[in-house]
Amino acid sequence: MDIFEKCSQFTAAKEAMATGLYPYFIPLTESEGTEAVFRGHRLIMCGSNNYLGLTTDPRVRQAAIDAIKRFGTSCTGSRFLNGTLELHEQLEHELAEYVGKPAALVFSTGMQANLGTISALVGRSDVVILDKDDHASIVDGARLGWGEVKRFRHNDFADLERILSGLPDHVGRLVVVDGLYSMGGDVVPLPELVAVCKKYGARLMVDDAHAIGVLGGGRGTAAHFGLTDQVDIIMSTFSKSFASLGGFVAGDETVIHYVKHHARALIFSASITPANAAAALAALRIMREEPERIERLMKIAEKMRKGYRELGFNIGNSTTPIIPIIIGDDTKVLLFWKALFEHGVFVNPVLSPAVPPGMQLLRTSYMATHTDEQLDRVLEIFAKVGRQLGVIQ
């Protein structure tokens, strides 16, 4: 059999393109934070993870420009060899301090942070236990490790306890969860999770990709619950609130030192570029110095959740600026997405198998820089389209 045969047999995307309902890889002409332009068509952006609106902040932009002028466009090597700058170490120091851990390690992407850290820590005699709603980068990091992978039902800690209680005493165990789930917008009940992990001697890693800059005054899920000292490893990415590209993990110095010398995703990848590192550092300092941005974001989230509920939309268990509009049918989701797009609102359709059947949704997310006028317009358009498609009355 020709290994490329599967490529010619993959027709789903082209069929969707032919119907005009293909929602992916849309090439934006402009992206100005709360607004984007596609072929002259201006849209209110409600599909971005730019939670604090810092991608267009002049200070973040200037930091990236200054770094290029000083260091050039690339480090041309891995952190392990020639690719570590003082800038990287300064960023690591301030990140660790911000999230309340002794040490941090910066990777070139958030995906690599999870791949490298989990696969480095989980050896042949270890077990890694994941929430079934965990991000793909967590799942792939677990698969790359030499240990056994087990999964428990979403936020079901009785199910987690069933798994942990069945493991032999000599087995190393690492539980990995998202702090803020990227599709449902719900937050992990961390106090309950910590109690189960402590009972069975499991170490805990929390992926705060969507939580840093949002929860805990910006410091993430552990800070939100006052449990920073009970979470062993905090991970996050720079491609959301940090307005950049990259990622990091933070924890005890001995753990970070070990990962630094064993994570293949770090050792065999070129280091984060000077511009990306500088942009992330500038964004971090703005987060630290301007907590009103986070306060504004949470007020916007509350406004939009209230607005959608009053209109009759199903938004699940969201308590954050990630607000799903659960529709439950692939075709209706795509029709809704297309109508919103034509009316000037950009959102993300999420279909099966990315979500279970019956949970197909439109993922909306909000920024601290959205204006009230933009938000009111979004609700108005959602109401109009929702009634036209029979999603609401």
Q: 229-275: per-residue pLDDT in tens? A: 999 999 999 999 999 999 999 999 999 999 999 999 999 999 999 99
Give dist(CA 205, CA 116) in Å, integer: 13
Provide the pLDDT confidence category of residue 216 given band limits of 50, 70 and 90: very high
Write down all domains in the chain, each with its CATH number in brackets: 5-55+291-388 (3.90.1150.10), 56-289 (3.40.640.10)
Summary mean pLDDT of the chain = 97
Identity at 187, one-letter amino acid code = V
Residues 6+ apart with CB under 8 A from 293: 52, 53, 286, 287, 368
Residue 217 in tokens: 């005054």
The DSSP output letter for 2 is -
Average pLDDT over residues 361-379: 98
Which helix (DSSP H) or strand (DSSP E) does residue 306 occupy? helix 292-311
Q: What percent of the chain has pLDDT over 90?
A: 97
pLDDT value of position 354 = 84
Give dist(CA 119, CA 264) in Å, integer: 8
Please confirm whether the linkage preceding 353 is cis (ω < 30° from 0): yes
List, for residues 142-162, the tens digit of each pLDDT value.
999 999 999 999 999 999 999
pLDDT value of position 352 = 86
List, for residues 331-340, the tens digit of each pLDDT value.
999 999 999 9
**Nearest 10 degrees: CA dihedral of 310, 313, 314, 318?**
-60
Query: Residue 353 class from Cβ within 10 Å (0-12 exposed, 13-18 middle, 19+ buried)?
Result: exposed
Nearest to 345 by CA among 329, 327, 362: 362
Give dist(CA 27, CA 8) in Å, integer: 24
Which helix (DSSP H) or strand (DSSP E) does residue 178 occupy? strand 172-178
C-beta separation of 155 from 132 below 8 A? no
Residues composing the chain: 393
